[in-house]
Chains A and B, each alone.
Chain A
Amino acid sequence: MSEPKQTGPEVAFNVVGDQIADDREQMLDFRIDEDLAKVATPRSDHVIVARVEDLFRWAQLSSIWPMTFGLACCAIEMMSAAGTRYDMDRFGAGAMRGTPRQADLMIVSGTVTAKMATRIKRLYDQMPDPKWVIAMGSCAIGGGPYFKYGYHVVKGVDMMVPVDVYVPGCPPRPEVLLDGLMRLQDKIRGKRGKWRKPKWVDEYINTIPR
């Protein structure tokens, strides 16, 4: 699988917030079904044959249930991502669970303090396998603005739990969290999905004064 050639720097998803909703069809990764169609051979109208592993992965990545786990400021952006404009449910990840025992994904959204660190480890242990972790925001990645003088701030949640996807920003915009979620889906699928550049990106880049 060859990636489309990039001319110039790769464009982040968060260049224009509002246009995401208009181009959501283009942003969504429909290769999920195409990949499944390759391995699932239709034998008749009612029977398909596929590897169980592929089917499981497809089911897992299409219904990630995150835990309601707001730590700090990033939790507000996580709420926005689940809210009206960004609608995380489009990716099958909108079912926020209150308890770790029903969740697959822990979005560590905010500053991890020394007092909270043991609780995070415990919550992670309570989640059933398979489970994934997204470190959201610079505090969860490595201390962020509290790196230098924050005597009570843990410099990175990856000291306690294994992190799958790092989402940078202070706080990251909801689009970036959605991007992180798509990268997590890629990880579950086992290969990177095709990213289709929306039409407006080139047009937008041309309007930026240089």
Chain B
Amino acid sequence: MTDVRPHQDIATPAGDIAKPIKSELLHINMGPQHPSTHGVLRLFITTDGEMVTKVVPYLGYLHRCAEKIAEGNTYHQYIIYTDRMDYLAAMNCNWTYCLAVENTLRSLGVEVEIPEYAEYVRVIIGELNRIASHLIAFGTYGLDIGAMTPFFHALREREAILNIFEKVCGARLMYSYYDVGGVKWDIPDDAMDEIKLFIDLFPAKLDEYNELLTGNKIFVERTANVGVLDAATCIDYGCTGPVLRGSGVKHDLRKDDPYSIYDRFDFDIPVGTGTVGTVGDCWDRYHVRMLEMYESWRIIQQAVDRIPPRGEVMAKMPKNLKVPPGQGYYRAENPKGEMGFYIISDGGTVPFRCKTRSPAFHNLHIIEHVGKGQMISDLCATIGSLDLVLGEIDR
């Protein structure tokens, strides 16, 4: 297990003869119980002193058999399991799954007409959940770096969003609000008022976050030029979402492959620019999330302005939903990245196979590439900037 080799990474003062320092390689398990691995991620790291020479992620500590469960449950029943995949953005997971089923139905010749009012409701609620998810990412990233205060500020606004969700569907975390063909219930009046209040108050809070953490000198020192990912590597590993956009690639399915009614709204796609360091460092990925919260706020504002008068929230769907034999794949932009469901049907009430393409799974594996040659503390900063959710990785 032990290996003695010359140290490579320690910079020697100019003029000194570089004397090889011999140190033993040490194998460490980081996780599954570790405060900064965001769940039960286990990283097997080989260290040379303080430097990490190799990182291998081990998965499966939260494998909850979701894809097998899909084969035993009807299309409606499986919605509650999509909640528990990305539990920080359960609404978006519901939405992606419902889009996949609807799209599969359409491609196999079954007409599914979603009411326009329901589309607006879907956009408003989905974007609110994107803000809630990014708030947790922002708060816990502060915790990883060692700043406690932003976490409390982030949770304050998250509770406001959860209040809205509670009024809309009765749950705080596991919503199951979206259904195949629309949404289950209408937004009540007081929830709509609260959404409008949230729109009014949120930009001031964003400024507060930026003041707290974004420009903080210690935070910038810890994150700038750390964990730099270039665009080509990100694309090779299949990274999506803020991780890819942080590296400067302008890729967002809401713009590039607009689903639902996203082509009607005016919003920008923030990308990493290397403001304080290199393009694609941890700070860029963090900053893309902060800017995305603002863009989501813009979308919600426009959607609330243009929402049509109350109407049907559900398309006319058969009670016992059957999908004709065939297959379909659909993807959507989740807070973590591109999520997709691949559904194969044999004509029955349950899918024959339902494969999930989860964004965090692909974002995680870049840690093998970027973790090499980092300090252990920088590794924590890098994991935090990837914003992993283990429920989605292991499923």
Q: Is the CB of B152 within 8 A of A84?
A: yes
**Contact partner of B63 among A68, A115, A171, CB < 8 A?**
A115
Closest to B159 in A: A85
**What separation, in Å, do the CA atoms of A26 and B354 have in the docked complex?**
50
Is A148 among interface residues, defined by CB-CB distance under 8 A? yes
Q: Is the CB of B391 within 8 A of A73?
A: yes
Q: Is the CB of A146 within 8 A of B65?
A: yes
What is the number of residues of chain A that contact chain B, defined by CB distance less than 8 Å?
Answer: 37
**What separation, in Å, do the CA atoms of A61 and B317 have in the docked complex?**
54
**Contact partner of A149 among B61, B68, B153, CB < 8 A?**
B68
Is A32 among interface residues, defined by CB-CB distance under 8 A? no
Q: Is the CB of B172 within 8 A of A153?
A: no
A73-B391, A150-B64 known; A17+B35 contact, CB < 8 A: no
Q: Is the CB of A85 within 8 A of B63?
A: no
**What separation, in Å, do the CA atoms of A76 and B84 have in the docked complex?**
12
**What separation, in Å, do the CA atoms of A148 and B72 have in the docked complex?**
10
Q: Is the CB of A77 within 8 A of B72?
A: no
Q: Which residues of B contact A73 (CB under 8 A)?
A: 84, 87, 173-174, 391
Q: Per-position contact with B for A100-114: 1 when CB-CB < 8 Å, else 0? A: 100000000011010
Closest to A100 in B: B33
Q: Which residues of B contact A153 (CB under 8 A)?
A: 64-65
Q: Is the CB of A76 within 8 A of B64?
A: no
Q: Which residues between 109 and 166 of chain A lie within 8 Å of chain B, taking CB atoms? A: 110-111, 113, 115-116, 119, 123, 145-146, 148-153
A115-B63, A171-B173, A173-B172 known; A76+B88 contact, CB < 8 A: yes
Q: Is the CB of B61 within 8 A of A116?
A: yes
Count of A-B residue pairs with CB < 8 Å: 98
Q: How far is the CB of B10 from chain A (nearest CB, A)?
A: 29
**What separation, in Å, do the CA atoms of A50 and B80 have in the docked complex?**
53
What is the number of residues of chain B that contact chain A, defined by CB distance less than 8 Å?
Answer: 37
Q: How far is the CB of A24 from chain B (nearest CB, A)?
A: 16
A18-B163, A76-B173, A171-B173 known; A111+B62 contact, CB < 8 A: yes
Q: Is the CB of B39 within 8 A of A68?
A: no
Q: Which residues of B contact A193 (CB under 8 A)?
A: none
Q: Is the CB of A68 within 8 A of B35?
A: yes
**Contact partner of B65 among A72, A75, A76, A151, CB < 8 A?**
A151
A111-B64, A115-B60, A115-B63 known; A83+B151 contact, CB < 8 A: yes
Q: Apart from A85-B156, A123-B33, A150-B69, what 6 extra A-B contacts exist at CB < 8 Å?
A: A79-B155, A84-B159, A110-B62, A145-B80, A152-B63, A171-B174
Give residues in B with beta carbon < 8 Å to A. 32-35, 38-40, 60-65, 68-69, 72-73, 80-81, 84, 87-88, 136, 151-153, 155-156, 158-159, 163, 166, 172-174, 390-391
Give residues in A with beta carbon < 8 Å to B. 17-18, 67-73, 75-77, 79-80, 83-85, 98, 100, 110-111, 113, 115-116, 119, 123, 145-146, 148-153, 170-171, 173
Q: Which 6 A-B pairs rank lowest in CB-CB distance, beginning with the nearest?
A: A83-B155, A73-B87, A98-B35, A149-B69, A116-B61, A84-B156
